[in-house]
Amino acid sequence: MAILEVQGLQKRYPSFLLDDVSFSLERGRIMGLIGRNGAGKTTTLKSIFNLVHPDAGAIRMFGLSMPEDERAIKQRIGFAGGAVEYYRRKKLREIAGVTRTFYDSWDDEAYRKYTSAFSLDETKTPLQLSEGMRVKFSLTLALSHHAELLILDEPTSGLDPVSRAELLETFLFLKEGGVSILFSTHITTDLEKCADDIAYLAGGKLVAAKPLAEFLKENEQAGHGCSLEEIMVHYEKESLYEKLAE
């Protein structure tokens, strides 16, 4: 059963149109939402979370509809927009202490396990943490209420190679535990290391939403390149060429 279903999502801005985006994510799989800057990745993720209002389309998670079942859905998902950017002068302990009161399934033991595994010092504030540690704190909050679906907006951007590798390792560990992850990125090598599926957005349109291996094989056979980076460059350069030729 699909844990996340996005059907015909459309959002119109004065200078941008996210048009007819549809994809689904199964339990225990990692999906990378890729596309260059401004392709519509963040708009898609924000629409899933009801932070922006789609003009058309339907979003279902765990068989429930967003926004009708917003509270029930949010109990079961975690969102991290990269590093923690809120309450930068409050101690991690205070932020976690408040956050825990919102979740029925908050697990203090899990919280302690992740803070210890990620070497998070609860007496520090987000301001005192590196970018990588802030991402880890963000993940800790999501995982401590046993989120079944993690939605992450460019979590690896701005991280050093070691932190990125650690984060990807964490994703793989969570996947083994049945957690589904949807994360946006334009760092294609991250996806090749851990993603099962991809949804590729270009200029607000969905180019593909399928298993990564299948996507790579099809494009290799079509001569678009052997890696995600080569394939992305192939698609984006084509559209740039058309623009210049107009």
Partner 1 sequence: MKSLLNKEIRLAASPLSYIFLSASLMTLLPGYPILMSAFFICFGVFHSFQNAREANDTLYTVLLPVKKADFVRAKFAFTCFIQLTGFGLCAALTAVRMTALSPAAPYVQNALMNATPYFLAFVLLIYTAFNVLFLGGFFQTAYKIGMPFLSFGIAALVLIGFAETLPHLPGLGFLRTPAGERLGIQFGLLIAAALVYAVGTLLACRRAERRFERIDL
Position among 102, 130, 169, 239 found at the interface with partner 1 (CB under 8 A): 102
CB of 144 to partner 1, least distance (A): 13
Residue 178: CB atoms within 10 A of its CB come to 11
CB of 201 to partner 1, least distance (A): 18
CB of 241 to partner 1, least distance (A): 32
Largest alpha-carbon pair distance within the chain? 60
Any contact of residue 51 with partner 1 (CB under 8 A)? yes
Which positions from 75 through 94 interact with partner 1, judged by CB under 8 A? 75, 79, 81, 85-90, 94
Distances (CA, A) of 78 to 62, 140, 213, 217, 218: 14, 10, 27, 32, 33
User: For the residues of 176-227, what is the DSSP string, one character each?
Assistant: HTT-EEEEEES-HHHHHHH-SEEEEEETTEEEEEEEHHHHHHHHHHTTS-SS
Any contact of residue 101 with partner 1 (CB under 8 A)? yes
Q: Which residue, among 26, 19, 49, has the nearest Cα to 206 in the 3D structure? A: 19
Determine the residue type at 207.
V
Residue 148 or 196 having the CB closest to partner 1: 148
CB of 97 to partner 1, least distance (A): 7
The strand ranges marked E within 51-147 are 56-61, 64-66, 77-80
Residue 47 or 185 having the CB closest to partner 1: 47
Stretch of 73-81, 162-170, 186-194, 199-207 lying at the interface with partner 1 (CB under 8 A): 73-81
Residue 35: CB atoms within 10 A of its CB come to 26
* Cα–Cα distance measured from residue 174 to residue 182, given in angstroms and rounded to the nearest whole number: 12
**Terminal-residue alpha carbon distance, the chain:** 45
Stretch of 15-23, 46-54, 58-66, 196-204 lying at the interface with partner 1 (CB under 8 A): 46-54
Residue 36 or 93 having the CB closest to partner 1: 93
CB of 40 to partner 1, least distance (A): 14
Any contact of residue 103 with partner 1 (CB under 8 A)? yes
Q: If binding means CB under 8 A, how many residues of this protein chain bind partner 1?
A: 29
Residues in touch with partner 1 (CB under 8 A): 46, 49-53, 67, 70-75, 79, 81, 85-90, 94-95, 97-99, 101-103
